[in-house]
Homo-oligomer: A and B are copies of this chain.
Amino acid sequence: MGNRSDEISKVITRAIINRRLTPGCKLSEQALADVFNVSRAVVRQALIRLADDGLVTVERHRGAFVSRPSHREAMEIYDALTMLEQGVAAQLSGRLDQRGWSELRHHVELQHKAVEEGNDELADQLGSHFHVILVKLSRNTVVQEMHAQLIRRTALLRSLVDSRFDYCGLLHDHSEIIDLLEAGRVAKAQELIDTHHRNVVKGYLMGENTEQSMSVHEALEPYVNDAKTPVNATS
């Protein structure tokens, strides 16, 4: 068992990624302490981790809230993803073995099936995961961790907008990126990575999605049940 605060921050992270905790949601220390049945000190530690990850914003003497990225910040996150993946592309091209390319192609296949079956939820996840795999192939855990953090943050953005993706086009992008990289046409691949992310952002009909968010207790209930039986599971 790791640190209690580490576990808790991971659980809250999951809840944010799954959009059970949405941007702006107040994360009261006492409420979280009750939910997880730990002391406030541990909750504070978890909140610090989350704040360092950018998922939570702490305002002095006001408390912690699920981050609500500004429009500018949203752009910066996607540009950061672009740059990181462009760098990965530069390293991957010409240095990756057949196994790597086929792993990527296999993944595109999977997402293709998900789209055909109309499983948008899954297609969405797989769409993100393509980029994760791409970065994983760089075999650099430092880059992987930075990239994963950015991906986590994009979940915040999805909570803020109605996403309407052109899966067909995005899938084709993935496919073409693989082809270009394998062919050693790095510059063209990097250009496509750029426009690809711009198309993803375009898929966000940037409007205030004032979706009602659940209470902290409600949002976290399935997770705490998962890990450890809470004291008073008033389901």
- A residues with CB within 8 A of B: 2-3, 5, 41, 44-45, 48-49, 52-53, 58, 60, 73, 76-77, 79-80, 82-88, 90-91, 138, 140-143, 146, 150, 186-187, 190, 194
Contacts and interface: CB of A to CB of B under 8 A. Distances in A.
A60 B186 CA distance: 44
Contact of A141 (B76, B83, B87, B187): B76
- Copy tally for this chain in the complex stands at 2
A80 B194 contact: no
Contact of A82 (B2, B45, B87): B87
Most buried by B among A87, A91, A186: A87
Contact of A80 (B2, B77, B140, B187): B140
B52 A79 contact: no
Contact of A77 (B45, B87, B142): B142
Contacts of A79: 91, 138, 140, 142-143
A150 B49 CA distance: 18
Nearest to A150: B142
16 contacts: A3-B58, A41-B41, A48-B48, A49-B52, A52-B53, A73-B142, A79-B138, A79-B142, A80-B143, A83-B84, A83-B88, A83-B91, A86-B91, A87-B87, A90-B190, A146-B146
Nearest to A77: B142
B73 A83 contact: no
B83 A143 contact: yes
Contacts of A142: 73, 76-77, 79-80, 150
